[in-house]
Amino acid sequence: MAVLLAEPQRRQLEELLASPVRAIATVAGGDINDAYRIGLADGRRLFVKTNRDAPRLMFAREAEGLAYLEAGLTSAGGAPLPLRVPKVVAHSESMLVLEYLESAPTTPEIEEALGRGLALLHASRPDRFGLPHDNFIGRLPQQNESMDSWPEFYGKQRLLAQARLPGAERLLGSELLRRLDRLVGRLPELLPSEPPSRLHGDLWGGNWLSTAAGPYLVDPAVYGGHREVDLAMMSLFGGFGPRVLDAYREALPLSSGYSERESLYQLYPLLVHVNLFGAGYVAGVRRILIEYA
């Protein structure tokens, strides 16, 4: 059923797009923002995310994140791309406007294209762990200050940064926080040394879209990091068929010992979920910390 935006948002949208809005329909999905499909008087159909309480720069950072992914996916010398991101049309402090993508049933060919595309993305090497600026994962801040080594970056900028936010600090309690400190101290012996890859950073099953034109990545939380972070999150929350990882491995084989490291990389999204959604995710954090610390 068509739902109207609040009038100030509608006016802002029409100013951004230089065309009157003729149709608005809600789009399902997402826990943080309101989403709409809109039709404009000039014939365009677009996708809009809005959030009047969005943290400053949240939508700007998302637009930059899509450009960061696109830069990695277009490094194939003009060959047809197996994986794409939606085009950014406009953004403001309270909204992001993208090209509208019509979803289509997933096929084995689309799954294989997703796997090959992720391998292409991960093979694109940024010059640093992190980013020149901080961004967001969901509505939470994500710190990206570059560090000398991947274990140091992952320990300080990912695990400890999330654990020290008020929600996780309160729900984890002193014992688990002490275990986390011990684990961070062990990361240099547990994590391999590998150059940074371009990461989506929030790669659960709801953040890729199957279309008739192939797979697309959406809602990134990008940075330069170890490629196994994306793979571990894919495994944690599901939503990816077996052909995805098979095609990925064919294009970019996994490093030795990945299965032993997988839960270490699942610890970060679990901490994020503790901060976003509460105590239901503490058990997963506890299981990993007891295993390693």
Just list the catalytic residues. 202
Contact 111, 241 (CB under 8 A): yes
Strands 135-137 and 95-99: unpaired
Burial of residue 290 (number of CB atoms within 10 Å: 0-12, 13-18, 19+): exposed
Helix (H, G, I), strand (E, B) or coil at 33: coil
Helix (H, G, I), strand (E, B) or coil at 270: helix
Helix (H, G, I), strand (E, B) or coil at 212: coil
Bridge partners, 271 (sequence order): none
Question: What does the alpha-carbon distance between residue 121 and residue 20 come to, in Å, rounded to a whole number?
Answer: 37
Neighbours of 185 (CB within 10 A): 12
Residue keyed to tokens 């684990």:
183
DSSP 68-129: HHHHHHT-STTPPPS-B-PPEEEE-SSEEEEE---B----HHHHHHHHHHHHHHHHS--SSS
Question: What does the alpha-carbon distance between residue 289 and residue 116 come to, in Å, rounded to a whole number?
Answer: 33
Sign of CA dihedral 194, 275, 208, 242: positive
H or E segment to which residue 137 belongs: strand 135-137
